[in-house]
Amino acid sequence: MTKISMKILFTANDSAKLMLISALFLLSTSCQQQVNFGGKKKQEKNLDSITHFIVQSRQLDVSKGESLSFLDKALQLARTIKSDTARKLKLSEIRLEYRKLNELEAYRNVNDEIRNLAFDLNDSLEIANTYSNRGYYFLKKEQVDSAYNNYYLAQRMYVRLDSLYKAGKALVTMGIIQKNAEDYMGGEASSVKAIEYLESSDDLKSLTSAYTNLGLISIELGRYDKALEYHEMALDGRKKLDDRPLEVSSLNNIGFAYFNAEQYDKAIDYYEQGLAYDSIFYKRTVTYARLQDNLAFAKFRSGDLNELPQLFLKPLKIRDSIGDNLGAVTSHIHLAEYYKSVDSSELAREQALIALSKAKPIKYHKGILDALNVLSESADETEALASTRAYIHLSDSLQQAQRRFQEQFARIRFETDQIEIENTEVNRRNKQLFIGLLSLLAVFLLVYIIIQQKLNKKELQFRESQQTANEEIYNLMLAQQLKLEEGKQLEKRRLSEELHDGVLGRLFGTRLSLDSLNTKNDKESVGTRLKYLEELKSIETEIRQISHGLNSDIFAKDVIFTEVIEQLIEIQNNLDTINPSKYQFINDYIIHWEEMPNNVKVHLYRIVQEALQNIHKHANAKNGIVSFIKEENDILLRIEDDGAGMLVNKVKKGIGLKNIKSRVKQMKGILKVDSEKGKGTIITVKINYQ
């Protein structure tokens, strides 16, 4: 064949191979696409079901319990979504619904699930969101220190991620928390920073909340001009939002600033503006009652007592009807101050006691202090003294708690900053350490590979030598057994020859002699002759059968291996002549040992030998069974004893068991050891052989 023709043949073969590979690839891709398509269809169905359950939970005609049931079903399905990203998105929707229903524990649990997913996905923005949500949870639980800590961590992450709008929202809440804890300087700093982040955003609602918080802080600090400036800015923003209830709230805040500045006429004007808004009574009943009470109190402070106390009683009635206990406390205190001013000490005391009884269960500390203050001035001497002491004690406790909160807020900020500085330094050192470790690892890996190659080479050499030794041992056993069999066959042949040539020859001669009697024809001779002839034929046939049987191969080829095992068991049974063991051997007749490779037989022999030795040394067993069983394409070696048993986990490092494991591994088999203290041991070896 020429070079050109060889080249053409080679190209044709390559083309055929390429076509075959392409076809197989297309078939595999098609099957994979079908599987993916099926899985995708199921996922899409689950996603649709989740959306359906979420929508159902929002329906107005379902109870809260039914809404929660729908959300629980959605949550169970969401957890089955394989895609972490898709699962996170659906869990986020469910989290929001739990928040709307005020189911705080379910809300927190789902938020924690999302947080774990966010860490797995390395989604820093979502991690920051989960911190913010944890802050909301702790705030609702009135754990203000934990709430502040989580909001602080969230806003720091938002700033690093350049999500200034979300950082601003977190800072607004932090500022409100600080203001409520009377950390006015810290609250002011947080609110100012929030405004800086929110000014470039479209979130006027959060921005006006920051201005409102600054205005309230300024009132507490006595900076009434600044307070009015901030509240006016908040009002302008809320007018742009076209949110009437929020506008009314700002009008109330402006009136409150004028009230604290003792400009009561202006305060009354703003309260009345708020009350003039359409439908404020129905949309924000709480705000409406607050405006009414503030208006009455401003008129009282201005000296206008004409419509009092009716102006106080109207908002009190509203607050009682809607369960506004905090507002009701304020109304009762205002009434108490009014009655005290008109020298109705008993009525003032009565209103102060009511305020105190309503303020204590809800832990409204300002209301408690104001009520105690009125009691200290309107009650009898004993009660007034007790009220004064209670006022001083509570006031001191609150001041200490406020200082603790302020210190805690400062410590959270300081420690977080320190941690960031330390993390930066640690990251730098870790980077250097990582490079150094990587270099060391590379060197170590190189040395390990070299050593491992040498060890592998030695192990291979050892296995080869072990295999050779095993073959030699087995061949010696075979040679010994063959000599025994050869002796047996010679002895059988000798007996066969003696029977055939000796006994059979003599019987044949006798038959011939008897045959000569045929010349006699008398009745008696004929009968005798026939009788002996039949008897001789019977003996001849029997001897011939015996001869042939002795000359045939009585022992099959597989008897050799099984006899070796039998001998091994017999030795085991006779080791202790005083208390001999009783071990049985069972061999499945359908196993063709003559077809089994010699090395496998050696391994099986050695495993039985090792196991019997271990039983003799450690188990003190009296009875046992060694069996070979055929199961389809597998052969099972089972060695069972009724000895002392063992704790398998504590003897895994024994030399005997190691040797057995090594041999099973070389046969690519499976080893199982079942044992309990006092209940014997069962060793099972399973090998595949066809």
The whole-number pLDDT of residue 501 equals: 45
The whole-number pLDDT of residue 628 equals: 92
Pick from 263-267, 394-398, 536-540, 669-673: least confident: 536-540
506 pLDDT more than 70: no
Q: Distance (Å, rounded) from C-alpha 277 to C-alpha 274?
A: 6
The whole-number pLDDT of residue 181 equals: 83
The whole-number pLDDT of residue 3 equals: 39
Long-range interactions of 376-384: CB distance < 8 A, separation 24+ = 377/340, 378/336, 378/339, 378/340, 378/345, 378/348, 378/349, 378/352, 379/345, 379/349, 379/352, 383/349
Across the range 396-409, mean pLDDT stands at 66
The whole-number pLDDT of residue 4 equals: 35
Across the range 208-227, mean pLDDT stands at 92
8 pLDDT more than 80: no
The whole-number pLDDT of residue 168 equals: 92
Q: Distance (Å, rounded) from C-alpha 36 to C-alpha 689?
A: 38
Residue type for 36, please? N
Higher pLDDT, 542 or 244: 244
Burial of 312 (C-beta count, 10 Å sphere; 0-12/13-18/19+)? buried
User: What secondary structure letter does DSSP report for 507?
Assistant: H
Pick from 230-234, 405-409, 585-589, 623-627: least confident: 405-409
**How many residues make up the chain in this entry?**
690
Across the range 90-103, mean pLDDT stands at 92
Residue type for 297, please? F
| Cα 353 off chain centre by | 55
547 pLDDT more than 70: no
Pick from 5-14, 150-159, 522-531: least confident: 5-14
Across the range 252-261, mean pLDDT stands at 92
569 token code pair: 């068991």
Q: Distance (Å, rounded) from C-alpha 631 to C-alpha 590?
A: 10
Q: Distance (Å, rounded) from C-alpha 319 to C-alpha 288?
A: 10
Does domain 559-688 match CATH 3.30.565.10?
Answer: yes
Pick from 102-106, 155-159, 308-312, 404-408: least confident: 404-408
Pick from 168-177, 236-245, 251-260: least confident: 236-245
Q: Distance (Å, rounded) from C-alpha 361 to C-alpha 325?
A: 10
The whole-number pLDDT of residue 175 equals: 92
Across the range 509-538, mean pLDDT stands at 64
Query: How many Cβ atoms from other residues are within 10 Å of residue 389's Cβ?
Result: 12
The whole-number pLDDT of residue 251 equals: 92
Which residues in 75-234 belong to E strands, given as ranges? none
The whole-number pLDDT of residue 258 equals: 94
Q: At what angle do helices 164-180 and 144-160 cross, to 10 degrees?
A: 160
310 pLDDT more than 60: yes
Buried-state track 492-504, b at ≥16 Cβ within 10 A, e below 16 = beeebeebbeeeb
Q: At what angle do helices 345-359 and 325-341 cross, to 10 degrees?
A: 160
Q: What Cα–Cα distance (Å) separates residue 11 from each residue in 8, 23, 346, 664?
A: 5, 18, 116, 47
- Strand 670-675 vs strand 681-688: parallel, antiparallel, or unpaired? antiparallel
DSSP 605-669: HHHHHHHHHHIIIII--SEEEEEEEEETTEEEEEEEE-S----GGGSTT-HHHHHHHHHHHHTT-
The whole-number pLDDT of residue 11 equals: 43
Strand partners, 628: 587, 637
> pLDDT class for 333, splitting at 50, 70, 90?
confident
pLDDT in tens, 150-160: 999 999 999 99
Across the range 27-35, mean pLDDT stands at 53
**Residue spans per domain, the chain:** 407-551, 559-688
> pLDDT class for 464, splitting at 50, 70, 90?
confident
pLDDT in tens, 441-453: 888 888 888 898 8
| Cα 502 off chain centre by | 89
Q: Examine residue 309 and say whether the peptide bond preceding it is cis (omega within 30 degrees of 0).
A: yes
Strand partners, 686: 636, 670
The residue with tokens 């891709």 is: 29
Q: Distance (Å, rounded) from C-alpha 230 to C-alpha 651?
A: 80
Q: Distance (Å, rounded) from C-alpha 358 to C-alpha 326?
A: 8
The whole-number pLDDT of residue 408 equals: 65
Residue 337 near residue 298, CB atoms below 8 Å: no
pLDDT in tens, 554-613: 344 445 788 888 888 888 777 766 667 788 899 988 888 888 888 888 889 889 988 888
The whole-number pLDDT of residue 594 equals: 83
Residues 6+ apart with CB under 8 A from 218: 224, 226, 227, 230, 257
Across the range 614-621, mean pLDDT stands at 81
Residues 6+ apart with CB under 8 A from 551: 492, 493, 496
What does the mean pLDDT of the chain come to?
A: 80
Across the range 142-150, mean pLDDT stands at 88
The whole-number pLDDT of residue 574 equals: 78
The whole-number pLDDT of residue 552 equals: 42
Residue in 261, 267, 327 with CA at minimum distance from that of residue 300: 267
The whole-number pLDDT of residue 269 equals: 93
123 pLDDT more than 80: yes
User: What secondary structure letter does DSSP report for 571?
Assistant: H
Q: What Cα–Cα distance (Å) separates residue 594 from each residue in 478, 556, 562, 598?
A: 12, 9, 11, 9
The whole-number pLDDT of residue 26 equals: 56
Higher pLDDT, 509 or 436: 436
**For the chain, how long is the longest CA-to-CA vector?**
175
Please tell me whether residue 392 adopts helix, strand or coil conformation.
Answer: helix
- Which strands sit side by side in the sheet containing 681-688, from one edge to the other? 582-587, 623-631, 634-641, 681-688, 670-675
418 pLDDT more than 70: no
Residue 567, H or E segment:
helix 559-573
Pick from 33-37, 117-121, 479-483, 509-513: least confident: 33-37
In the chain, what percentage of residues exceed pLDDT 70? 74
34 token code pair: 């079908």
pLDDT in tens, 187-197: 999 999 999 99
Pick from 10-14, 284-288, 463-467: least confident: 10-14
Q: Distance (Å, rounded) from C-alpha 553 to C-alpha 541?
A: 20
Residue 485, H or E segment:
helix 381-497
461 pLDDT more than 50: yes
Across the range 26-42, mean pLDDT stands at 56
The whole-number pLDDT of residue 9 equals: 36
Across the range 64-92, mean pLDDT stands at 91
Helices (H) and strands (E) in the chain, counts: 24, 5
* Residue spans of alpha helices (H) in 199-284: 204-220, 224-241, 244-260, 264-275, 280-283
Residue 135 near residue 148, CB atoms below 8 Å: yes
Please tell me whether residue 129 adopts helix, strand or coil conformation.
Answer: helix
514 pLDDT more than 60: yes
136 token code pair: 């909301």
